[in-house]
Amino acid sequence: MPVRTFVRLAVGCATALAVATTTTLVSTAQASPRAAADPAVITDWNAIAVRTIFTEGQQPPPAGQLYLGFVSTAVYDAVAAIDGRYAPYAKQPRPRAHASSQAAAATAAYKVLSHYFPASQQALSSDYAASLAKIREGAGKTHGIQAGKAAAATLVRLRTGDGRGADVTLDVTPAPGVWRPTPPASAPMLVPWLGFVRPLLLKSPTQIPPAGPYALNSAAYTRDFDEVKAVGVASGGSRTPAQTETARFWSDNLIRQFQTAFRDQAARRHLNIADSARMFAVLNAASADAAIACWRGKYDHAYWRPSTAIQLADTDGNPATTADPAWSPLVANPPYPDYPSGHACLTGATTAGLSHLFGARHIDLTVDSAVTGTTRHYATADALNQETKSARVWLGIHFRKATTDGNQLGRAVSRWALGHYFRHVGR
């Protein structure tokens, strides 16, 4: 770049003035309108986040969703501060003129992931260099990087001391209706601290409490008991081949399935960088809070799994239930209580978010499963909600009430969040 830069400024309609200065250098990026940002940076860094959190960081799905919420929120804030159409999640410094939202998004994601997953630093640095190489040099790129750093630093500061990894254990006395570790691993409750983490959006983990499971001596409990006993058993029950296929389809890592589907959404709907960043923030931050609220419900209710309930039905005080000590589910139980269903909580938050963004009858979601090697398409929120709720029963790992209330909890969390965050400026 020459030491002395000349900039021609149009004044009025006809007057032109050549101005030279030895003290101020004006780059091409400053003198020209901001180049259109490539929205692929949002989906690229979502894929990097999934790899970092789950493959390299080995986070279990519910905890992994929390970190996806962190990344998506910081990226959204970096882009929103520059774009100006949506209100940032947290107050951000005013970006410099013509800051690159593409550089801001990549930087925010890189900084958040590097902070929480330092073991992945080498891979993340390589990813970040590749992202920045796609953006032309100039002040816009520099200012975008600054905006991304600011958004990431704000997010990290806000999450300091939020309760992640706290020393929390679920210590309950075995009794009818009470959860206990299940074979074959008989492991204690996974990430019990999650239910005590400060939410991203909700005021507290218990702001929207689930209704609670049915009483063991109720007709409703008997109905749910009989259903899962018949269709959730490993073999010999009344589950159809189609139901088995659906159950297995949804036995994959749900969060990985949804993130892949979200990236497909952004691409097929041709979302610009601001709308793409907002979509991921809406879906991932609300799902993070749904996971927190769900895990608190699991901790507080500590309700037994169907396999325990069926094997020990002669202790439940309900004469309408019959014990089967040899009963086992289609897949092994995950190591945490039945109620409410985490899978249903996350799906409810997802369908409510997609409904808000695109319409409940037009979610147009394509989902793949590494378990079955197949892909399914869902046009409506209701179709996705109903199938996923039933799938957990057909797997034999949830009572129907856990899936119904979990889905409702996730939707309630998302609706509340969307009434308070990620809104258009001025609305």
Using the CB atoms, write b or e for 132-149: b if 16+ within 10 Å.
beebeebbbbbbbbbbbb
Residue ranges of domains in the chain? 39-159, 197-419
> CATH number for the 197-419 domain, one of 1.20.20.10, 3.40.50.300, 3.40.1160.10, 1.10.606.20?
1.10.606.20
Give the Cβ contact number of residue 94 at 10 Å.
Answer: 9
Mean pLDDT of 169-180: 96
Give the Cβ contact number of residue 416 at 10 Å.
Answer: 18
pLDDT, residue 1, reads: 41
Considering the domain delimited by 39-159, tell me its CATH architecture: Up-down Bundle (1.20)
pLDDT, residue 9, reads: 32
- Do 247 and 330 meet the contact criterion of CB atoms below 8 Å apart? yes
Mean pLDDT of 279-290: 98
Residue 253 CA neighbour count, 13 Å, CB half: 18
- Which of these, 163, 164, 313, 132, lies nearest to 224 by C-alpha position? 313
Mean pLDDT of 175-199: 97
Confidence of residue 34 (pLDDT cuts 50, 70, 90): very low
pLDDT, residue 26, reads: 27
CA distances for 260 relative to 22, 275, 422, angstroms: 52, 17, 22
Residue 246 has pLDDT above 60, yes or no: yes
CA distances for 128 relative to 103, 121, 267, angstroms: 10, 10, 21
Residue 311 to residue 308: CA distance in whole angstroms: 5
Q: Tens of pLDDT along 316-375?
A: 999 999 999 999 999 999 999 999 999 999 999 999 999 999 999 999 999 999 999 999
Token pair listed for 408: 């409702």
The whole model's pTM is what?
A: 0.91
